[in-house]
């Protein structure tokens, strides 16, 4: 059945995904002579870089989510549909979704990425926690808190160890920031919440298969972050692959065994393409091969942007990093290129402007680097706060995140330790 | 198996329920020579009077929930366990829970109330939405938003009507406040979020079996509220019983049929007692009969307070109203009476100090009455805001609710229109 969409006589662009790329692209096409239809399986935009704060009770989901319909209120030529895309029929220029079919004149795939569990079986990866969207972050929050509750009940010291230990796999920004937040909780909050548990016995492990944390940053910053994380009592294992997990104990390639029920996998992401493209279109990391205009190779009117797109350029032989600034800049570019295509003009190639990168580890500590400048400590931390608040969509979210952080900073607290939807012992 | 609880050599009081009554009682026993064990099936206290704002996207759940463990940090003689109580074995002074058994010296039942669907079968009531806790309020939020999304997709005008109409059954404070909030959303938000839907066709019905809204308040206030609600375009049906609902259409006793997929039942609550008491202990409304000291009739060391307790006094032949102030005042009283009992002193009887009551209907409008004074309009509305903010537990919640309301007031917006856990089309 065809999806009900008002016809405006304009050409129709369909954007699949309301992430950083999708919303930037839409903004740029505001009031242009083209109908913009955005599809997303959620009705909100999620600010993924702060998901770890939702998982650790520092922020409410509503502070990092922004309703896509509210965003669309400002786009008179925009339409939103809550839909999960099944596949693309490029021959007939049609998209099949769970709510019906839809024709397009132009199509942009902006579906982002999902967790990459690599060779782990579903059985093993199903026991690991992940943190790519809000429901997953809330599940993680519930899971950790439920484990502490359970730890209070057992007389078995080995089981208690399993329940309170937490392992994080992956020493990128997500792993590092999460380790810092958990280290902070262990120090300032958990001993007060659970006075019956001896938190000096709680282990937080951070596993990284490479030889340093934050492999994408300068080695000096890696060293700084390693120190920050260790200052929080996190046990860091470099050059260490996690090879198995049975829900109670993880095993590393060198035979080490660590007891933990909570294993958070942040060690990889992969593109999340939609079905319907020729197999040769899919490049490494399950991303869609695009040319320098973000056009999918072999298609005239289909683009891909952000995490799901892989554009090989001289400085980026494996494609660009899977971060928000790439998605935003490609969103801008593709808006311009589609308008150019509509008018029969030449498209512009993508030039990535790298604004630098940053990561924080608990209060007052962060690292950042941009244009050859490297910085750590308090100033970098303030910069981290500022950049993240300003990147949030919506005035209300900027304010609630700022105030939430001020509160957490001065009280050394994170008050959102709520098990609203039990994960471990499902209630409903 | 016995629940692991540290033994302090003190007498043990177990409180079942961390609502208004339970936390007041606990506060009052702070630093007294008695071990206080609180059990609750959630790890947070929920401020129920504002649940309707969570359901309508005005407030985040975290703003009206307060972690019970954080509350317990201030109670050195207090212990919390996340537990669902199965039943009481009063003969052996033992409580059976889902996490183990527990002995008590004193016991307080503070389990509050649940929705009363009266004679409706489970099949019928299962199609109705309720709003007694946070997961239910979030389900309602998702359900309403999912229905609007679905309404966009259908060509069938009758089906569309079903999807966008909302019926509320029960003209008490919850029903009235919800009707006001929905009326406000229909006016200020929904037409912008869903420009393709004609919201002049959306009906909001409020059914009340009695002859006026807010039956517990003065008739003048009932009349005022009726006007307020009607000003928002809510269709009010007094003297009208809803007798059936099939998920699409509701039927009233006088044969009226109204199309709506969303029916929110606020027309009754009943006590939520735990099992294990003699049948004659259960009074009308499924509440536990208590004497003037809040002691359960026939038991020497078991009390009940708040919604779940029914104390017949001259002015209250059917027990006290099921509202927070009664629970709070009974919590205080029982704390004193248990201490008196410990010391072999005489208990004090309960005297309810009625502080009055209030209800709000959208912006700037409310009614209140106390000690013979009646008021409506803007001043009553400010008083409503003030009383509700001050009654919230925790500084952070007071601040976030105040700021959330300021934002909503000045922007005419409610930004939390997020379907985080789909209710209708379950995701996971």
Q: What are phi and psi of A337, to 5 degrees?
A: -70, -35
Q: Express each pLDDT in B365-388 by its tens digit.
A: 999 999 889 999 999 999 999 999
Burial of B426 (0-12, 13-18, 19+ CB in 10 A): exposed
Distance from CA of A4 to the nearest CA of B (A): 6
Going by C-beta distance under 8 Å and a sequence separation of 6 or more, which residues neighbour residue A313?
Answer: A292, A320, A350, A352
Q: Which residues of chain B have a CB within 8 Å of the CB of A420?
A: 44, 61, 65, 134-135, 138
Q: In degrees to the nearest 10, what's the CA dihedral of A294, A298, A299, A302?
A: -30
DSSP tally for chain A: helices H, then strands E: 13, 24
Query: What part of A 320-359 touches B (C-beta under 8 Å)?
Result: none
Considering only CA atoms, which of A231, A233, A253, A234 is closest in space to residue A242? A253
Residue B178's pLDDT is 97
Considering only CA atoms, which of B68, B70, B173, B59 is closest in space to residue B402? B59
CA distance A56 to A101: 40
Q: Express each pLDDT in A78-122 by its tens digit.
A: 999 999 999 999 999 999 999 999 999 999 999 999 999 999 999
The yes-or-no verdict on residue A345 having pLDDT over 80 is: yes
CATH no. for B122-267 = 3.50.50.100
> Which residue is it, tokens 């009906």?
B203
B336: number of Cβ within 10 Å: 16
> Which residue is it, tokens 């903010």?
B389
Taking a C-beta distance cutoff of 8 angstroms, is the pair B310, B277 a contact? no
Burial of A171 (0-12, 13-18, 19+ CB in 10 A): buried
The yes-or-no verdict on residue B393 having pLDDT over 50 is: yes
CA distance A354 to B385: 48
Distance from CA of B354 to the nearest CA of A (A): 32
DSSP state of B350: P
Residue A365's pLDDT is 93
Per-residue b or e along B210-240, where b marks 16 or more CB atoms closer than 10 Å to that residue's CB: eebbbeebeeebbebbbebbeebbbebbeeb
Same fold, A12-41+83-115+269-342 and A122-267+363-411: yes
The share of chain A scoring above pLDDT 70, in percent, equals 99
Q: Express each pLDDT in A259-286 by its tens digit.
A: 999 999 999 999 999 999 999 999 999 9
C-alpha dist (Å) from residue B218 to A43, B212, B325, B371: 43, 10, 19, 12
Residue B428's pLDDT is 37
**A280 touches B: beta carbon within 8 Å:** no
Residue A415's pLDDT is 81
Of A6, A43, A407, the CB nearest to B419: A43
The share of chain B scoring above pLDDT 90, in percent, equals 89
Q: In this predicted structure, which of A185-199, A203-217, A398-412, B262-276 has the lowest mean pLDDT?
A: A398-412
Estimate to the nearest angstrom the gap between the alpha carbon of B342 and the chain centroid: 33
The three-class DSSP label of residue B237 is strand
Q: Express each pLDDT in A218-252 by its tens digit.
A: 999 999 999 999 999 999 999 999 999 999 999 99
Considering only CA atoms, which of A132, A170, A118 is closest in space to residue A52? A132
Estimate to the nearest angstrom the gap between the alpha carbon of A219 and the chain centroid: 24
Average pLDDT of chain B is 95
More confident call, B65 vs B422: B65
| Domain edges within chain B | 12-41+83-115+269-342, 122-267
Q: Which residues of chain B have a CB within 8 Å of the CB of A60?
A: 60-63
The yes-or-no verdict on residue A369 having pLDDT over 80 is: yes
- Which pair of tokens denotes residue A107? 């199509």
**B65 touches A: beta carbon within 8 Å:** yes
- Three-state SS sequence of B77-105: CEEEEECCEEEEECCCCEEEECCEEEECC
ipTM of the complex: 0.93
Taking a C-beta distance cutoff of 8 angstroms, is the pair A327, A110 a contact? yes
DSSP-assigned beta bridge partners for residue A183:
none
Residue B427's pLDDT is 42
Q: Express each pLDDT in B96-144 by its tens digit.
A: 999 999 999 999 999 999 999 999 999 999 999 999 999 999 999 999 9
- On the CB side of A139, CA atoms within 13 Å amount to 21
Taking a C-beta distance cutoff of 8 angstroms, is the pair B368, B214 a contact? no
The three-class DSSP label of residue A349 is coil
Average pLDDT of chain A is 95
Kindly report the CA angle at A293 between A288 and A294, in degrees rounded to 5?
25
Q: What are phi and psi of A194, to 5 degrees?
A: -125, 70
Helix ranges, A277-394 (H): 324-342, 377-391
Quick one: average pLDDT of A359-372? 91
Cβ–Cβ below 8 Å for B62 and A416 = yes
The yes-or-no verdict on residue B399 having pLDDT over 70 is: yes
Q: What are phi and psi of B406, to 5 degrees?
A: -60, -45
Going by C-beta distance under 8 Å and a sequence separation of 6 or more, which residues neighbour residue A170?
Answer: A207, A208, A265, A266, A267, A268
CATH no. for A12-41+83-115+269-342 = 3.50.50.60
CATH class for domain A122-267+363-411? alpha beta
Q: Express each pLDDT in A312-340 by its tens digit.
A: 999 999 999 999 999 999 999 999 999 99
Query: What part of A 121-150 touches B (C-beta under 8 Å)?
Result: 134-135, 138, 145-146, 149
Taking a C-beta distance cutoff of 8 angstroms, is the pair B191, B148 a contact? no
Cβ–Cβ below 8 Å for A66 and B6 = no
The three-class DSSP label of residue B305 is coil
Count residue pairs from A and B with Cβ separation < 8 A.
133
Quick one: average pLDDT of A18-29? 98
Per-residue b or e along B27-55, where b marks 16 or more CB atoms closer than 10 Å to that residue's CB: bbbeebebbbbbbbbbbbbbbbbbbbbbb
The pTM of this model reads: 0.95
The yes-or-no verdict on residue A427 having pLDDT over 60 is: no
Q: Which residues of chain A have a CB within 8 Å of the CB of B69?
A: 193-194, 417
- Band (pLDDT 50/70/90 cuts) for residue A425 is low
Going by C-beta distance under 8 Å and a sequence separation of 6 or more, which residues neighbour residue B172?
Answer: B213, B214, B215, B216, B266, B267
């Amino acid at each position: 059945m065809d999806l009900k969409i008002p016809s405006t006589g304009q050409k129709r662009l369909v954007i699949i995904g309301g992430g950083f790329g999708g919303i930037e692209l839409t903004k740029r096409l505001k009031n242009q002579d083209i109908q913009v239809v955005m599809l997303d399986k959620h009705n909100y935009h999620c600010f993924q870089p702060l998901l770890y704060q939702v998982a650790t009770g520092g922020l409410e989901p509503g502070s990092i989510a922004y309703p896509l319909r509210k965003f669309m209120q400002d786009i008179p030529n925009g339409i939103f549909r809550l839909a999960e895309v099944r596949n693309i029929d490029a021959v007939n220029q049609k998209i099949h979704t769970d709510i019906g079919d839809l024709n397009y004149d132009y199509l942009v795939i902006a579906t982002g990425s999902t967790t990459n569990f690599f060779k782990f079986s579903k059985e093993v990866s199903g026991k690991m926690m992940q943190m790519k969207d809000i429901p997953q972050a809330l599940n993680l929050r519930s899971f950790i808190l439920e484990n502490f509750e359970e730890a209070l009940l057992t007389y078995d010291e080995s089981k208690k160890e399993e329940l309170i230990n937490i392992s994080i796999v992956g020493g990128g920004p997500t792993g590092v920031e999460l380790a810092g937040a958990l280290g902070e909780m262990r120090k300032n909050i958990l001993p007060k919440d659970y006075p019956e548990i001896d938190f000096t016995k709680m282990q937080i492990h951070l596993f990284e298969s490479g030889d340093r944390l934050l492999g994408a940053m300068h080695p000096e910053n890696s060293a700084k972050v390693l120190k920050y994380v260790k200052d929080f009592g996190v046990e860091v294992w470099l050059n260490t692959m996690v090879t198995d997990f049975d829900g109670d104990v993880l095993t590393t390639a060198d035979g080490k065994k660590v007891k933990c029920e909570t294993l958070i996998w942040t060690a990889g992401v992969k593109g999340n393409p939609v079905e319907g493209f020729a197999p040769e279109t899919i490049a490494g990391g399950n991303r869609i091969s695009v040319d320098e205009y973000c056009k999918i190779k072999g298609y005239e009117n289909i683009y891909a942007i952000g995490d799901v797109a892989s554009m090989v350029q001289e400085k980026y032989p494996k494609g660009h990093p899977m971060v928000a600034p790439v998605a935003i800049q490609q969103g801008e570019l593709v808006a311009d290129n589609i308008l150019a295509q509509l008018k029969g003009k030449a498209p512009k190639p993508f030039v990535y402007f790298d604004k630098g990168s940053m990561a924080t580890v608990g209060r007052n500590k962060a690292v950042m680097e941009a244009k050859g400048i490297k910085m750590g400590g308090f100033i970098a931390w303030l910069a981290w706060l500022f950049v993240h608040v300003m990147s949030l969509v919506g005035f209300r979210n900027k304010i609630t995140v700022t105030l939430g952080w001020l509160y957490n900073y001065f009280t050394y607290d994170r008050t959102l330790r709520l098990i609203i939807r039990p994960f471990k012992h499902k209630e409903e």
